[in-house]
Chains A and B, each alone.
Chain A
């Protein structure tokens, strides 16, 4: 089946669903259907270890009887499963309460056309070819240094998906996407000490994936750098979050400005629109329409047209992340955020990674974070960490078994610099973050 035939088939399923919902008495309905196929091949110690053929269908429907709603989803797209799902959603809607905020997105906000964001680039790779690529990646890691003693393997994963969303306002739209990734994790040993680390790349386009050997070498380099880790005594000092883990600090920001957290008052950034959250030089944007972008989408999960947006400008919070429900709860308008933030980016203050180390002079470079450890209601932040001790602007030695703690509100205010080193395979683009002062727990 070609992708356009697949989209047409899924559009048929959505139309059937909406029709079935009307037949069962719903006043309004919305449905999303997806179909995904993929191949995942793992090579370990030079040999093919697993070949996985993935194939996932999913369908979700929400029906409204006045302002009461019910939902159902299924992985089974046969007509009888669809009828059962619609019936289940309608039955549930008899028991949910009238909720003035419930309902479809406002018709005025729905996408009028579906721009082609160039997200579909299938890879005609079979299991043997996939294994050869994964092997090249793992070989590069294993042969990088004699201390690389073991491997968790390298995995090539390629998938193609189609997604269609429609609602009873008459909106229906869909598009195909692809995603390809290559990852590698190896183990280094020195005496009794073992350390593990990994690296990966991910892309919409096969030819844009990083060179397999380069991914492998980087996995080995990251792993080797951890050997001989020392403990650190407890102190307060500046902390530099390396670019590959810095996206988690923006994810905390997005969690805090999610409309659902705001109307529940379960966020440390309550009523902060127009307030200074970061220093003045900081800007955070979202660009869902970025061609080939890792999180691009022409419309959100409710059919609302997406657009470029400033979330933070001049360090000031510009708005929340709102779906229709949260928007109505707060008396605002949807920001096309059903399904999350898409292709976020934070401005760099212009320093290279080396500049950031010099600027910090003496402090902790964090390269791994462990555990959850943030309280989104208060902003209190406490995570397990590993990284390097930096002195005179230079990396001295690896450190492990430490904690970094503070409060996210203070950490955002005390952001001294964001590096230009944003070459990371994440849908959140950021360089490394230098934070003025945090508590580092050690021995």
Chain B
């Protein structure tokens, strides 16, 4: 048994006094004649956050989230109940409520194949204790000092530091028990700069499934501070962004939010089973230019979006979504995989015990191509070079998606020239993917900052891509 599973059993079963016999009793209550699949998900989570502002440690907060979610599935119908108490009586009550769905269901069976326990992708540590309080405060003060020292125009610095310790244990109706210990740390530096009465902001940060000393390695905390100041100063000089269709070159790394919105969500199994995605029924078809190979890879060690096992106990995978422009497969949780007659891909994720799992992305990125970034920029006569983004959004049914640049430049005659103000870019997923005409050799993943929202549930994710060129994309500036 792996160390993670041992910790999960001790925390979530031994401490509240639950035995395997108790679990069987709850599972039996959850299962009825018409239930095809069921699971019990236990969670213990502790989170700590600190905020530095105005040069002082202004706030600190500690959170406890603990409970169990019980799910019964009959065909494509789901019954769900949860409890914040791990007492047997409360688990049995929740099981009774969740199984009620089966009255409406039809009979079927769920074949669950036994799977090995994968090697952990991150250490089974509690990151809240990975630095002491003085060290955490010192880390934030260093970032604050670095930002203020970087330029006299810096007026305000806000530094946040978050550490989360998440222990989960899931038992399915075949009796298989999986567990995981998931550390997650995140740091961010936000600055406001002012010059001649004009103000701008910049923000930078990173994170990983590691201990807090991740931010000490390579002096990352100071690097975030310098990056936030640099961005804010660039934007201070920004002119109006262009409006209309232009060639757009996206920088490597975080601009991969393009893939998350343009294709990622549309390839989640639930939408495709229901036929509500613009990519429904298109496996084997061309959905992107032949230069594009896109994967969703939950197996990268220590990454923010990585999972040793997903929230249904399935080991995460490196799943090819699009290969040389051809759609290869969807991301699946167990229920949608069963209903579509394919294997689960390790993408069954949930925000917490109080939320139902569904197919979600992990780390989604495009593989490197053969062009140099310089060559790609040089190929554009008049266009936009966008290197930093805020969030995005997609309508998976029509395929329309947006993502908002917050650091971008004009390309004039093959050269990056003036910075332009932030602007939203909009396009249609399959169309835009087909307009990718050059792919760089500089694949990079983001620094560990992404959070994805779907149906009200937030989960940490990663994105990445090399520099790439989209021949035409609508840019939402004001300079018509």
Using CB atoms and an 8 Å cutoff, list the residues of chain A in contact with chain B. 44, 47-57, 69-78, 81, 84-85, 88-89, 91-99, 102, 127, 131, 150, 152, 187, 193-196, 226, 229, 233-236, 264-266, 270, 370-373, 375, 377-378, 380, 382-386, 400-407, 439-443
Contact = CB atoms under 8 A, between A and B. Distances in A.
Contacts of A94: 133
B275 interface: yes
A383 B60 CA distance: 34
Contacts of B427: 401
B67 A75 contact: yes
Given A96-B60, A384-B402, A401 B474 contact: yes
B63 A50 contact: no
Given A96-B58, A403-B423, A384 B476 contact: yes
Interface in B13-60: 48, 53, 56-60
Interface residues of B, number: 80
Contacts of A386: 400
Contacts of A196: 276, 395, 397-398
B84 A57 contact: yes
A439 B240 CA distance: 11
A187 B397 contact: yes
B59 A71 contact: yes
A81 B101 CA distance: 33
B64 A405 contact: no
Contact of A234 (B66, B200, B243, B354): B243
17 contacts: A49-B76, A72-B62, A91-B133, A95-B57, A194-B278, A264-B156, A264-B158, A370-B393, A370-B401, A377-B199, A377-B201, A403-B243, A403-B426, A403-B476, A405-B241, A439-B243, A442-B245
A75 B398 contact: no
A177 to B, nearest CB: 19
Contacts of B356: 50, 52
Given A56-B84, A378-B200, 11 more contacts: A53-B80, A57-B84, A73-B62, A78-B85, A95-B137, A152-B276, A266-B192, A266-B201, A373-B402, A404-B476, A441-B476
B57 A96 contact: yes
A71 B57 CA distance: 13
A426 to B, nearest CB: 17
A169 to B, nearest CB: 21
B474 A382 contact: no
Contacts of B426: 370-371, 384-385, 401-403, 441
Interface string B418-432: 000111101110000
Interface string B70-108: 000000111111111100000000100110110010000
A242 B51 CA distance: 39
A406 B478 contact: yes
B244 interface: yes
B84 A75 contact: yes
Contacts of B80: 50-53
